[in-house]
Structure 1
Amino acid sequence: MSYDAIVIGSGPNGLAAAITLAQNGLHVLVIEARATPGGGMRTQELTLPGFQHDICSAIHPLAQASPFFRALALTPDEVDWITPPVSLAHPLDDGTALAVAPSLEETLEGLGRDAAQWRRLFAPLVERWPDFLDDLLAPLHVPRHPLLFGVYAPLLAAPATWLARACFRDERTRALFAGMAAHSLLPLERAPTAGVGLLLTVLAQSVGWPMAKGGSQTIADALVQRLRRLGGDVVCGWEVTDFAELPQARAYLFDTAPKGLLRILGERLPPRYRRQLERFRYNPGVFKIDWALERPIPWRAELCYRAATVHIGGTLAEIAAAERAIWRGMHPDRPFVLLAQQSLFDAARAPEGKHVAWAYCHVPHGSTADMTEAIERQVERFAPGFRDCILARATRSAAEMEKYNPNYVGGDINAGVQDLLQQFTRPTPSLTPYRTPLKGVYLCSSSTPPGGGVHGMCGYYAAQTVLRDWKRLK
């Protein structure tokens, strides 16, 4: 068959691009290399029968909040979102924890002398979070809400360590913000790590940090079903190795990292563009571990039982040191650990009375190191007796993450560094970053603006570029 458009890759951006094109009347085919669609949105039994583990993404504030998903309006029958009472918890060595709740007022209750400053910083953004997000999750453009964006632009572009120390007096509050900013995969002394911290904290206090009931695979399945109802096709188990094997189409959209685009298109790309893609900078990788548990993690801080997401790393200084070490090629003894405990709120994830947990830490790019001991030691630090709960575990090093999904180059789950230099020049400096020099060939992955996360906006904006190009040619 011939198609109007073919999308290579079925991650959130590939499916968002396909749905956007199909909504505009195009006949679309999505090709996926693995046996199931989803990219980072997959759920499988990795450890023991009956224990359902999210392969990559687990907690989805951006999927709830992004303009693409808001417009798509998935019904509870398609994706049943579970929002825990606490968006995230950050345990400390004194046996207590701080938390960010899905309400600004609830968050303020635990912040003590920093509560007033926290309110001044976050209240305007929480109140207008859709406006804030619409501007932030977009390619380079004139802000649609210039007053709001103009006030916060200097803070968004700042290093997290500077903002934490300038705004907050209590080391506990600084630690809480450091955990949010560390999602950036950048050293916290570098810009724009404060922007990442601000974005995630705003989402945590507006839409919360939800999970999909039954696992992240349900999000992918819902998107595929939407596409099929629009007349689109999805084929799995087809790994595209050369552009020549693809069916005839007017447009081709690649939900791949630049490395994948180079592999498939090769010499067809102009030499200058190839060199630019080859110079594209990737982040450090991640080491991921999934556990099947006999019982819930025995946290010392009761607050941790109310959150699906727990940031494990101690103080601002400790988290910053760990993230800095990774960029120097080191594996920290005390890594910053992002942990999700989905089964506390979703009984479908494990057999009755049992539990699952998911965690990763950052490691140097392409690392083959086993960080199991370091991660479990960090969890045990705040939950004594944790190791006694483990029934089985499954691990993936950064190198194994890339082997599983070639888009995770070197284990980089964000598909490229998102610093000030590369945030709006990904994958190359261009006012239309989704368009390649080849007529009808586009890039729609997280390696384009606005970057990583399950939000679909890279695919949405790539599809809009295709539609504009077609209208111009008519």
Structure 2
Amino acid sequence: MARRDAVDAIVVGSGPNGLAAAVTLARAGLSVRVHEAAAEPGGGARTAELTTPGFRHDLCSAVHPMALASPFFRAFGLDRRIYLRVPEISYAHPLDDGRAGIAWHDLDRTADGLGRDGRAYRRLLGPLVAHERAVTEFTGSTLVRVPRHPVTAARFGLRALEQGGPAWGLRFRDEVAPAMLTGVAAHTIRRLPSVASAGAGLVLAMHAHARGWPIPVGGSGAIIAALVDDLVAHGGEIVTDAPVEDLRALPAARAVLFDVTPRALDRIAGERMPARYRRALRRFRYGNAAAKVDFALSGPVPWTNPDLAGAGTLHLGGSREEIAAGEREVARGRHPSSPYVLVSQPSPFDPTRAPEGRHVLWTYTHVPAGSTVDPTEAVIRQVERFAPGFRDVVLASSSRSAERMQSENANYIGGDIASGAPSLVQLVRRPVLSPDPWRTPLPGVYLASASTPPGPGVHGLAGWHAARSALRHEFGLGMPRLAP
């Protein structure tokens, strides 16, 4: 049962964004209470034994390209609170002939491995890597504001237009580099090519070469534990098993921040919200879905290309054309015969994930929204394509259909782990067109979820931006110090 006594601020939802908001408010000296519907905090960024005892799997997020790059996590000093392993190979993309695109942390080493396309790859990503902080600042907030670094923003925009339109293949002459870029763009679960997907893919590729794609030792739950510990240390509290169905049921607070979807906010706030804003919440669209399979393995994955063993993340699906065809099928509401599969193999970098000599493998594939299909067999077939004999090392598996993803996390509507389709329109209007989209028209109420800028990912930025807005408008306070 939730406590009824008043506090300065209430946060509803304890995913990375909700906790980032709560930590920021508590560090400003406010009394903060977090209400979480589930039995434990963390949302999708949790770690648990899903297959068999001794094997620890991440429930949703596994590898965190923004863990070292997010302005919130930099201010919070995440890398000083938990151990983040940065693989030398950020991601890899195998092809059927045994070749593979290897995205080394080092951009020049990556380009050198791409042969005749190396120079083109370096010219595409080099200016972004060189100005990573400026790109992160531009893409890590609302796109409505005038960018502080307009030249860098223009460079980024031109590259997104190129890779998101009919000209996406003109820069390259071979198959490997285009496949690599398509693999990162496909994270968005959208029809390809598209400008929004290309932009997201370029950001991910940039981080792969700038700061790397870290894997937290102990699992994604280590990030949540660090946030919870800091919140509690500064007087905040978390109430679990405490779903919020009506804004009026909450105790008095000067600010209430919701780490929920627009659909949920509309239901919880109801007619207290202005009709125009409620229409915007209802107009917000959700995308297609992810379906997930976790594996406990008796040994490492027997990749055909041995370089793949050193990659923290892999994108399986073949050529650029094949991945684009599969994503078109998902957009049409069909399950593709050759699906895109995103793979993380954390146990080579984190021995806490599995018993000695054993491994865990994290995978998801893209499916139509609301799919009830068990993805296990489709995922195994795609892994076997690049690692013959994979079935023989599988000890156990645990699967989640898109429908089950939603049943376990209400923010994943239909299995949409992005909490809203990351279309170009909805990256600008998420969920409203405003320089401060986190602030709602209802006094003291803020939206602080991935349904607001900058969108999906474990970065805490949506919650951080919402908290900063609440501090300014409700309390007349500036940004507090967040460092350990």
Report the TM-score when normalising by structure 1.
0.97
Q: Per-residue deviation at 1:249? A: 0.4
Give the match for residue 367 of structure 2.
Answer: 363
**2-structure distance, mates of 1:157, 1:70:** 29
Give 2:233's aligned residue: 229
1:467 is displaced (CA, Å) by: 1.7
1:182 and 2:174 matched: no
Helix, strand or coil at the partner of 2:8: strand
Q: Deviations over 1:154-194 (max 9, x none)?
A: 22245536454022111111111110110121111222221
Paired residues for 1:165-180 under 5 Å = 165-180=169-184
Helix, strand or coil at the partner of 1:388: helix
Report SS of the residue matched to 1:421. helix
Deviates more, 1:34-43 or 1:53-62: 34-43
Alpha-carbon shift at residue 211 of structure 1 (Å): 0.7
Indicate the residue corresponding to 2:473 in structure 1. Answer: 469
Tell whether 2:414 aligns with 1:410: yes
Give the deviation of 1:75 after TM superposition.
Answer: 4.7
Q: Residue 248 in 1 paired to residue 252 in 2?
A: yes
Alpha-carbon offset, residue 241 of structure 1: 1.9
Give the secondary-structure state (helix, strand or coil) at the position aligned to 2:321: helix
313, 316, 321: which is aligned to 2:320?
316
Q: Which amino acid aligns with 1:260?
A: A
One-letter code aligned to 1:403: S
C-alpha separation in 1, matches of 2:263 and 2:402 = 16
Matched, 1:423 2:427: yes
Measure, in 1, the Cα distance between the counterparts of 2:151 and 2:129: 15
> Residue 386 of structure 1 corresponds to which residue in structure 2?
390
Query: Using a 3 Å threshold, how does the CA distance of structure 1 residues 236 and 163 change in structure 2: closer, same or farther?
Result: farther
Compared CA separation, residues 161 and 181, structure 1 to 2 (3 A): farther
CA RMSD of aligned residues (A): 1.6
Give 1:244 shift: 2.4
- Give the distance between the partners of 2:46 and 2:194, measured in 1 at CA: 32
2:52 to 48, 54, 61: 48
Q: Alpha carbons of 1:161 and 1:175: their partners in 2 closer, same or farther (altered >3 Å)?
A: farther
Who is 2:119 aligned against?
Answer: 116
| 1:136 correspondence with 2:139 | yes
Compared with structure 1, are the counterparts of its residues 64 and 304 closer, same or farther at alpha carbon in structure 2 (3 Å cutoff)? Answer: same
Question: 1:89 aligns to what?
Answer: 92
**2:330 maps to which residue?**
326
Identity fraction in percent: 51
C-alpha distance in 2 between matches for 1:442 and 1:421? 21
Q: 1:199 to 1:407 in 2, by over 3 A?
A: same
2:16/2:42 contact within 8 Å kept = yes
Match of 2:14 in 1: 10
Q: CA deviation at 1:322?
A: 0.5
- CA shift, 1:24, in A, is 1.9
Q: Which runs of 5+ in 1 are unaligned?
A: none
The equivalent residue for 2:23 is 19
Distance 1:123 1:343, change over 3 A: same
How far residue 279 of structure 1 moved from its aligned partner, in angstroms, is 1.7
Q: Does residue 105 of structure 2 align to residue 127 of structure 1? A: no
Structure 2: how far apart are the matches of 1:198 and 1:430? 25
3-state SS of paired residue (2:337) = coil
Which of 149, 155, 160 is the aligned partner of 2:159?
A: 155
Does the Cα contact within 8 Å between 2:405 and 2:412 map onto a contact in 1?
yes
Q: Which moved more, 1:337-346 or 1:234-243?
A: 234-243
Distance 2:311 2:386 in 1: 15
Q: Distance in 2 between matches of 1:194 and 1:239?
A: 37
* C-alpha contact 1:158 1:190 (8 A) present in aligned 2: no
* Contact 1:160 1:188 (8 Å CA) reproduced: yes
Distance in 2 (CA, whole Å) between partners of 1:396 and 1:246 is 32
1:56 partner letter: C
| Change in 2 beyond 3 A, CA 1:157/1:20 | farther
Is the 8 Å Cα contact of residues 255 and 474 (structure 2) preserved in structure 1?
no
CA distance in 1, matches of 2:441, 2:190: 30
Is the contact made by 2:124 and 2:159 (CA closer than 8 Å) also made in structure 1? no
Corresponding pairs, count = 473
CA shift for structure 1 position 232: 1.4
Q: Secondary structure at the match of 1:292?
A: strand
Rounded Cα–Cα distance in structure 2 between residues aligned with 1:86 and 1:55: 23
| Cα separation, partners in 2 of 1:56 and 1:74, compared to 1, 3 Å | same
Range with bigger deviation, 210-219 or 221-230: 221-230
Q: Identify which range, 15-24 or 151-160, moves more after superposition.
A: 151-160
- For residues 117 and 307 of structure 2, the distance between their equivalents in structure 1, rounded to whole angstroms, comes to 19
Deviation at 1:455, TM superposition (A): 0.7
Structure 2 residue runs without a partner (length 5+): 478-484
Deviation at 1:274, TM superposition (A): 2.1
CA contact (8 A) 2:128 2:156 kept: no
2:184 touches 2:204 (CA, 8 Å); kept in 1? yes
Return the alpha-carbon distance in structure 2 between the equivalents of residues 319 and 160 of structure 1. 14
- SS in structure 1 of the partner of residue 11 of structure 2: strand
Distance 2:270 2:32 in 1: 24
Partner-residue secondary structure (3-state), 1:334: coil
Equivalence map 1:235-384=2 (5 Å): 235-384=239-388
- After TM superposition, which residue ranges in structure 1, 4 or more long, deviate above 6 angstroms? none
Secondary structure of the residue aligned to 1:116 is helix
1:160–1:178 CA contact under 8 A, matched in 2: no
Aligned equivalents of 2:16, 2:69: Cα separation in 1: 14
Please tell me the residue identity of whatever aligns with 2:409: N
Q: CA deviation at 1:295?
A: 0.9
Check if 1:65 corresponds to 2:54: no
- Report if the CA contact (8 A) 1:96-1:300 is conserved: no
